[in-house]
Structure 1
Amino acid sequence: MLPTLDARLSAAAELVRPGEPVADIGCDHGKLTAVLAASGKYPKVIGADLRPGPLAKAEQTLEYAGCKDRAELRLGDGLSVLSPGEVSTIVLAGVSAQTTWEIIEKAPWVSAPGGPRLVMVPATRHSDLRRWLWEHGFALAADRPVQAAGRWYAVMAAEYTGEVKTPAFRECLFGLTGQWPEGEGYAAWQKAKLPRLRLGVPDGTELAKEMDELIKGESKA
């Protein structure tokens, strides 16, 4: 039986490049790995996790889904389980923004023109991940806001272009989420966190000014 994906993993699955190999890094119980493998859209599906426990669960998930022969499970840290050029899409779902970019930094072959598409669902600090991607030469191909279990997530797809961008705070806060019908709800959620974030920012700085403008705009709305 095929596992059911929540909204964030369903959105991630839709951003995988069709017809090319894919890796689900930090696959946990293997739900996304199983759905990708069962779809028959990809010549190779790899599920990987750092811990043996989740990987054993992922093996069971693949077995129940009847697609154990269509996916390969690997035990290892981050992208060390992959060879450069082995896959066309890498999914990194459910880890923090910082863990996401640390995983990318440890695999320099990802940051190259023609490199893999990265599909990311950061558990926290969406704004920081957008900033990191732009400042390290990645362009956002998609940035979709979704709600799962009462929380907002941003499901991002990025590809390396080498073009470094220094984004404004507002760009990092909302990304491309305004292109989606759910963008309004996501923006309200991001804005609600601003007063708390502002407390740690010194007055008179450019960041403080940007934050104050956004907070003022929200109170007028």
Structure 2
Amino acid sequence: MAGLDERLAAAAELARPGLAVADVGCDHGKLTAALAMSGRYPKVIGSDLRPGPLAKARQTIQQMHCQDRVELRLGDGLSVLAPGEVGTIVLAGVSARTTWEILEAAPWVFQVGGPRLILIPATRHAELRRWLLQKGFTLVCDRPVQAAGRWYAVMAAEYTGQPVEPTLEQCIYGRTAEWPDSEPYRALERGKLKKYRLGVPEGSPLAAEIDGLLARDEGSDCR
């Protein structure tokens, strides 16, 4: 969508059409406005914890002349939403921990048939993938995207009620290999894993798992 960086454009593509969508932590409101302008959603809700960003979002909405399709709300996390109100929730730009803390505060997202979650964690992608899978979500999309010189993972998750204990590979890479341009992202994650490996005791099961994953990925036993 015009005016969005690559990560927000990827997020917009994953929202379920025909259902209301919420942009939680909307900041400047560019994604909120783009979703409204697309005409694919009966209602777009933009929310933020702070009045300042919400005022900027209101200016963006007014400039794009889509006030009639947007509702802006001030509030913390998903407290601004009612259960079943939206088909998609976008939550971008906060850490993995903050992401799951926001979700845990809204038990109604943990329901089969509940909203699709579009998540763009600012840090610790692997930890968020682990949390999602352990809590009974499945990743329906996991797209590596570069924006402003940084790599992001744009994840779309849906609740299945079937928790699994993910492998290290599932946590580190998710489903990013399904995208043809994923290698730079995967190389970056491998680099992080190598640094992490330095602090793992030799001979431990975790060390063996890391070494095996790096060996498979690079064709040699890399640490």
The TM-score with structure 1 as length reference comes to 0.95
Measure, in 2, the Cα distance between the counterparts of 1:197 and 1:90: 32
Report the counterpart of residue 24 of structure 1 in structure 2: 23
Measure, in 2, the Cα distance between the counterparts of 1:200 and 1:63: 52
Cα distance, 1:109 vs structure 2: 0.3
Query: 3-state DSSP class of the match of 2:18?
Result: coil
Identity rate, percent: 65
Report the counterpart of residue 40 of structure 1 in structure 2: 39
Cα distance, 1:42 vs structure 2: 0.5
Measure, in 2, the Cα distance between the counterparts of 1:160 and 1:79: 16
* Cα contact 1:133–1:139 (8 A) shared by 2: yes
Report the counterpart of residue 92 of structure 1 in structure 2: 91
Report the counterpart of residue 60 of structure 1 in structure 2: 59
* Cα contact 1:170–1:210 (8 A) shared by 2: no
Q: Deviations over 1:2-25 (max 9, x none)?
A: 961000000000000001000000
Measure, in 1, the Cα distance between the counterparts of 2:183 and 2:77: 34
Q: Deviations over 1:45-73 (max 9, x none)?
A: 00000010000000001011111221000
Measure, in 1, the Cα distance between the counterparts of 2:153 and 2:204: 28
Cα distance, 1:171 vs structure 2: 1.2
Report the counterpart of residue 195 of structure 1 in structure 2: 194
Q: Is 2:105 the partner of 1:83?
A: no
Query: 3-state DSSP class of the match of 1:120?
Result: strand
Gapped runs of 5+ residues in structure 1?
none
Q: Is 2:104 the partner of 1:105?
A: yes
What amino acid is the match of 2:49?
A: L
Measure, in 1, the Cα distance between the counterparts of 2:133 and 2:214: 24
Q: Is 9-18 or 193-202 further displaced after alignment?
A: 193-202
Measure, in 2, the Cα distance between the counterparts of 1:149 and 1:219: 31
Report the counterpart of residue 136 of structure 1 in structure 2: 135
Q: Is 26-35 or 209-218 further displaced after alignment?
A: 209-218
What amino acid is the match of 1:126?
A: H
The TM-score with structure 2 as length reference comes to 0.95
Cα distance, 1:204 vs structure 2: 2.6
Cα distance, 1:211 vs structure 2: 1.4
Cα distance, 1:39 vs structure 2: 1.1
Gapped runs of 5+ residues in structure 2?
none
Q: Deviations over 1:155-212 (max 9, x none)?
A: 0000000011101111110000000012212111111112211133233322221212
What amino acid is the match of 2:22?
A: A
Aligned length: 220
Measure, in 1, the Cα distance between the counterparts of 2:147 and 2:23: 19
Report the counterpart of residue 147 of structure 1 in structure 2: 146
